[in-house]
Structure 1
Amino acid sequence: MIIENHKNLNMETKRENVVRPIDPANFLTEETGSEEKSPGCFSIDFTVAVVLPAGGSGERTGLSTPKQFCTFLNRPLISYTIQAFERIAWIENIVVVIAKDSIDLMVNIIQQFGHKKVKVVLGGSTRHRSIFNGLQAFGESEEESALKKPKVVIIHDAVRPFVEEDFLLKIAIAAKQQGASGAIRPLVSTVIATTSEGYLDHSLERAKYRASEMPQGFLYDVIHQAYVQCSETDFEFGTECLHLVLQYCGTNARLIEGPHTLWKVTYKKDLLAAESIIKETLAQTACVVAGQCEESSRLAGALQKTLGSQDMHVDIVPTSLRRSSAFISKTWNFVHVTVNTAGLADVEELVKTFEETAHSVLYSVVLILVHLDVSEQTSASERMAALGGIRSLAAEAKRKNILLYGILLNPVKDAGQWEEAVENLSQIISALIKERSPALAGQLLWV
């Protein structure tokens, strides 16, 4: 919806600086040099819940599956959106409103990906009816199924997965203060009106208008009262919740300019873009697991430097700490450096740790075994044989959403050749981490 930008509208405009999307989870913290606050670091003194209408058919994607259930990186789109809210401590409940024939699918998604704050509600025949059904999941009822009525409710599209906590906080606080709030964005194209014959009638002055986006926040009592009073025409043809609270409750929403990451998955290409964004964000960190020997430490330090030059934050962790929760929670990308021994037992132990901690449930874990054989007596065929077991281990790990790769690094004595080898190794590691290709899992690469 397009909103006219009159001066008397209560609108907050912020400079656009940080445009990086939501962190996949709470791993981009101050420890990694990020200036952004990690998820869950804010607190508020009133209750907030979320309603996610997700009953659409997604016809514009051209796919048989509704877009909210389309899968990328082994996970449906709606799960990413749920997690964006679920990871925020001050959001108490998330109501997902689903079409009748998709309820079983949604329940399976909740169970498979361990979502804890979610309640599934049957949707209506239109978007507004679905939102009203979601709002009625809260209330003063003594029934066990009823959720506690929140002070503020946030309404958001299930197919907008990249919403950040700091912006949600602005929406929630503005809703509490004003009664309603909504995200807006500048128009990127001129809006025109056409005649019935298909000719230009007139155009709008783009600077005077804004695109209405999600999320939108409301005092629960205000939005609920608006829906109780609205007409059948509103339920059938209305699209804008902000208009309903203005018309029926006299509540003029505070409009807040949001980041460009609020975009909505509408077409098939948007699913590919969402996958690319998730991959890019996941690839920002890595851990190198290294032994105490000189060669292992040397290679780990060199990888930290070269991968760091590619804008990847890299921590070096000794093998003795590889099972610690602090180590596991840092990233979804791990490079295990071994010298003279294949280290498959250590890698198998890591795979078991990832499974026990459920670290690979939400995102695939990339685990790269780098084998540096400094023994001049070991032949190439012997080195390959030493890592032969990686294929069967990788096949088992892939079923647990863990992508295991192997790289053989030839021993190099010349300093110049060593730097070149490390640079090539870093390029391969970076590519494996960024692509996260299941097809290459179990492959042995040679540098």
Structure 2
Amino acid sequence: MGVRTPKQFCSVLERPLISYTLQALQRVSWIQDIVVAVTRENMEAMRNIIQRFGHKRISLAEAGVTRHRSIFNGLKALAEDQPDCKLPKPEVVIIHDAVRPFVEEEILLRVVTAAKEHGAAGAIRPLVSTVISPSADGCLDHSLDRAKHRASEMPQAFLFDVIYEAYQQCSDYDLEFGTECLQLALKYSHTKAKLVEGPSELWKVTYKQDLYAAESMIKEKISQEICVVVNTKEEGSVGHLLKEVLKNELNCINITSTALDHTGGDIQNFLIDPCYSFICVNVVSSGLQETQKFLRKLEESCLSPLYPVVVVLVHCLDFTLVPLTQKMENLMWIRELAKEVKTKNVLLNGLLINYSQDEQKLQENLRQGASIIAALVKERSSALAGQLLVA
């Protein structure tokens, strides 16, 4: 990757890449234990990541100097014949890369089910480039028929006894230079792996530019849910009108709304399902205290350590009745509060929408406001936190 930091610890949206991978595995309730093979010098850093981001069911094993030696050490942490083993031996073990954070439960279940039946299974993907073999003088010797070959990916799954026996029997050469676990199961345990076609999201973060691709994918994923928070249940209120405009402008995003009292007491009801974008319309009509109550409840939900949370405070007023400069001066506290909550991974902005009495003009202003909201939600730029924007 060309960076000093081991790539699994590279930061994406202020969070190490491996934390996203652990979260993907943790979401799967039937995975009993997760063992991370980590080098001795990074052991403390890994413990800090587990604690900071609230990861559960995690055990650490000391990594070896090669991929296969690291995997073998991880398997030993689950093996009954090892004196330091503290975890129950599983029926099936999944082997996965720390830098493949987008693994979903569906492919995990498919490889595990196949492993239970065949003894071993692995995800594969079509080759995107033709594989060629060069001769000793650097010229083309031959090429492979791309249609007949596949790229081996992760996750892979094995009956535990199959893969552990393979590692116990394999040679030092295999441990030093080998890369393919499925081949070890075939060579030493005589188990032919079932190959399972995997989704495109299984790609591995390998090069520096992959970090930007990963960040883009994560932003896209967490921007799919927007919660519009209003302080009235009246269907004709500005908050509900804005919600309908957002639905039309962002037709691929799931937009929900909830009514909220001024005490902030109802917030927990809609923080149950993870959402990282909140559009608060007139919730803070009287000012700072109501906003602080909302943000405290948000902080208690423990959402922000995982992903940056966008909060847009929307005020609607008729600019012909209330001068814009006067209203902006009254909302300058948003900037100071934004600096405070930014340290907690909450990106706070203010948005003023001209509540025109002209229906056509109002709809145009709401559409402009929706475009601004969409940009804030999708970009999640900390540089824009604290800005007072006008539609």
TM-score over 0.5 for the pair: yes
Instruction: Tell whether the 8 Å contact from 2:335 to 2:386 is kept in structure 1 after alignment.
Output: yes
Instruction: Label 1:289 to 1:226 Cα distance change in 2 as closer, same or farther (>3 A).
Output: same
Count of residue pairs brought into register by the alignment: 386
> For structure 1, which runs of at least 5 residues remain unmatched after alignment?
1-60
| TM-score normalised by L of structure 1 | 0.83
Matched, 1:207 2:207: no
Residue identity matched to 1:329:
I
Write out per-residue CA displacement over residues 122-175 of structure 1, whole angstroms, 9 at most, x where no aligned residue.
Answer: 111111010000001113369786111110000011000011101100111111
Measure how far apart 1:326 and its partner are.
3.4
Return the letter of the residue paired with 2:361.
Answer: Q
- Structure-2 separation of matches of 1:326 and 1:259: 34
Q: Is 1:431 the counterpart of 2:371 in the alignment? A: no
Return the offset for 1:344: 2.9
Q: In the alignment, is residue 308 of structure 1 matched against residue 247 of structure 2?
A: yes
User: Is 1:372 matched up with 2:316?
Assistant: yes
Which residue matches 1:242? 182
Question: Residues 353 and 141 (structure 1 numbering): CA distance in 2 closer, same or farther, change over 3 Å?
Answer: farther
1:188 paired with 2:142, answer no
Equivalent residue number for residue 406 of structure 1 = 350
Task: Note the C-alpha offset of 1:323.
Answer: 3.8
Query: For each residue in 1:270-296, what CA deviation from the matched residue of structure 2 results, as whole angstroms up to 9, or x when unmatched?
Result: 0000000000011111111112286x9
Do residues 327 (structure 1) and 249 (structure 2) align? no
| CA distance, structure 2, for counterparts of residue 234 and residue 204 of structure 1 | 24
Following the alignment from structure 2 to structure 1, what is the Cα–Cα distance between the partners of residues 247 and 84? 52
SS in 1 for 2:128: coil
1:420 aligned onto 2:364: yes
Matches within 5 A, 1:222-301: 222-292=162-232, 297-301=236-240
Q: CA–CA distance in 1 between the matches of 2:3 and 2:265? A: 42
1:339 to 1:413, Cα distance in 2 relative to 1, 3 A: farther
**In 2, distance between residues paired with 1:297 and 1:393?**
31
Q: Distance in 2 between matches of 1:211 and 1:288?
A: 43
* Amino acid aligned to 1:420: E
Find the counterpart in structure 2 of residue 174 from structure 1.
114
- Residue 303 of structure 1, CA deviation: 2.1
C-alpha distance 340-433 of structure 1, shift in aligned 2 (>3 A) = closer
Q: Tell me: CA distance 1:191–1:141, structure 2 relative to 1, closer, same or farther (3 Å).
A: closer
The structure-2 alpha-carbon separation of the partners of 1:342 and 1:141, relative to structure 1 and needing over 3 Å to count, comes to: farther
- What code does the residue aligned with 1:212 have? S
Mapped contact 1:181–1:255 kept (Cα < 8 A): yes
Higher relative contact order (CA 8 A, sep 6+): 1
Counterpart check, 1:336 vs 2:280: yes
Question: Which amino acid in the other structure matches residue 272 of structure 2?
Answer: S
Measured in 2, the distance between the counterparts of 1:312 and 1:158 equals 29
C-alpha RMSD of the superposition = 1.8
Percent identical: 50
Query: Do 1:84 and 1:162's aligned partners in 2 also have CA atoms closer than 8 Å?
Result: yes
Question: C-alpha distance in 2, partners of 1:323/1:389?
Answer: 24
- TM-score norm. by structure 2 comes to 0.94
Which deviates further from its counterpart, 194-203 or 373-382?
A: 373-382
Match of 1:349 in 2: 293
Q: What is the CA distance between 1:363 and its match in structure 2?
A: 1.0
**Where do residues 144-183 of structure 1 align in structure 2 (5 Å cutoff)?**
146-183=86-123
Measured after TM superposition, the shift of residue 382 of structure 1 is: 2.2
Q: Deviations along 1:338-387, whole A, 9 cap, x unmatched? A: 18935432221111011112121211111100011248543223211221
Partner of 1:76: 16
CA distance in 2, matches of 1:97, 1:386: 54
Instruction: Give CA-to-partner distance per residue, 1:369-424, whole Å, 9 cap, x none.
Output: 00112485432232112211111111111111111100111231112211110010
Q: Offset of 1:316 from its aligned partner?
A: 1.5
Task: Give the distance between the partners of 2:196 and 2:44, measured in 1 at CA.
Answer: 36
Q: Compared with structure 1, are the counterparts of its residues 293 and 238 closer, same or farther at alpha carbon in structure 2 (3 Å cutoff)?
A: closer
Moved more, 205-214 or 303-312: 303-312
Partner Cα separation in structure 1 for residue 383 and residue 247 of structure 2 = 26
Structure 2 residue matching 1:119: 3-state secondary structure: strand
Q: What is the 5 A alignment of 1:51-200?
A: 61-140=1-80, 146-200=86-140
